[in-house]
Amino acid sequence: MTMQPARTYNQGHVQRKFTPGKRRLSIYWTWSYPWEAQRDPAAMENRFSTMTEVRSVLWPSYETPEYSAAQFLQGIAGTLELFHRSTLSFQDVIAEVTGHPAAVFQRIDQAGYKLPIDERILADTDTLLVFGLDHLLSEQEAAPEEVEAIREWLKREGTCLLLAPHHDVGFADDFKQRQMEYLHHGDALVPRQQRFGQYTRSLMKALEVPVHNTYGLRPALDKGTKEIAPITAFRDIDKLGLLANVPTFNFHPHLPHYEITESSEPIHVLARQPIDPDRPHPFTAAGNTEFNCLLWMPPTDRRPGDILLVDSTNFTTLFGGTDSLISFWRNLALMN
């Protein structure tokens, strides 16, 4: 049996040396781990599930010794750890392709250390993935110093900022609409209101990224199968080659629509995802059949770096993993 590498925790980041043609990728979880983990489990909305709830809803998927109370956290913290575990395959692929380990940072980690996005993260990062899974109620905001640091970093040739604000479910005051959204996505672990992405929203506003994450939409399935329907890909404008050998993304019951607002800079929709047509939703009732799932803001004279928007679940294996997804990861790691 092949032994897994030893795991380290709660120590300083060791910077990766620049290697021509080998991108250095970093993940930044925007949450305050303590704030999310210590939410009252009796709260009906705007919290992650506890691990006990996950085990109950998905029974018997997690009824193994490694997820027992003797070995795994059973509260909300356990569910946060599932997110960390779910990116390990992505990290393995990145390390294989680039020769560099993927660095993983949290805005406020389990030990209570706060790490804003600054030179400590950016100095040895070529692609920064900002995973926007902070609840709006936690009031995470990008500080002016962070915005300026990212602006300066994006002036460096070859940089790429990937923003991944997650869904905004149940933002309407109308309870009937919230119930319609809940029945549309069909996930018993998501409350009638679960609003994510305050940090990424504040960052997008400051960087003039004209996108707003809205709703949580259930992708359509390929007819006669249980597989996610292929994306509608606009390959002719995919100058980065992100969609080479990528017919599908990851199935997830509640994915955000990246709505484009007014923009003074070019922004391209590289892919749209068909929506389940058999589950009513306000977005489809308005005549929409697909949602924006991959966007690209190409470099400008004042910003040589690229900006991408795609949901963080496309880098996890919590909801399955496919060869198509691995191709997407490789393309991201190898983009010019």
- For the stretch 114-139, pLDDT in tens is 999 999 999 999 999 999 999 999 99
- Domain extent, residue 215, equals 87-95+124-334
pLDDT reported for residue 224: 85
Indicate if the pLDDT at residue 204 is higher than 80: yes
CATH of the domain at 252: 3.40.50
CB 26 within 8 A of CB 336: no
Indicate if the pLDDT at residue 218 is higher than 80: yes
Indicate if the pLDDT at residue 1 is higher than 70: no
Task: Tally the domains of the chain.
Answer: 1
* Separation of alpha carbons 330 and 92, rounded Å: 11
Q: Residue 57: inside a domain, yes or no?
A: no
> What would the 3-class secondary structure string for 25-38 be?
EEEEEEEEHHHHHC
Q: Residue 82: inside a domain, yes or no?
A: no
Q: Residue 37: inside a domain, yes or no?
A: no
pLDDT reported for residue 319: 59
Q: Residue 79: inside a domain, yes or no?
A: no
Higher pLDDT, 65 or 319: 65
CB 70 within 8 A of CB 206: no
Query: Cα dihedral angle (155, 161, 167, 168), rounded to 10 degrees?
Result: -10
Q: Residue 19: inside a domain, yes or no?
A: no
Indicate if the pLDDT at residue 318 is higher than 80: no
Indicate if the pLDDT at residue 168 is higher than 80: yes
Indicate if the pLDDT at residue 320 is higher than 80: no
Strand 211-217's sheet: what is its strand order?
Answer: 194-195, 168-169, 211-217, 255-260
* Separation of alpha carbons 1 and 4, rounded Å: 9
Locate tokens 């996505």: which residue? Answer: 185
pTM: 0.96
Q: Which two tokens stand for residue 185?
A: 């996505």
CB 319 within 8 A of CB 254: no
* Separation of alpha carbons 290 and 284, rounded Å: 8
pLDDT reported for residue 209: 97
pLDDT reported for residue 321: 63
Q: Residue 30: inside a domain, yes or no?
A: no
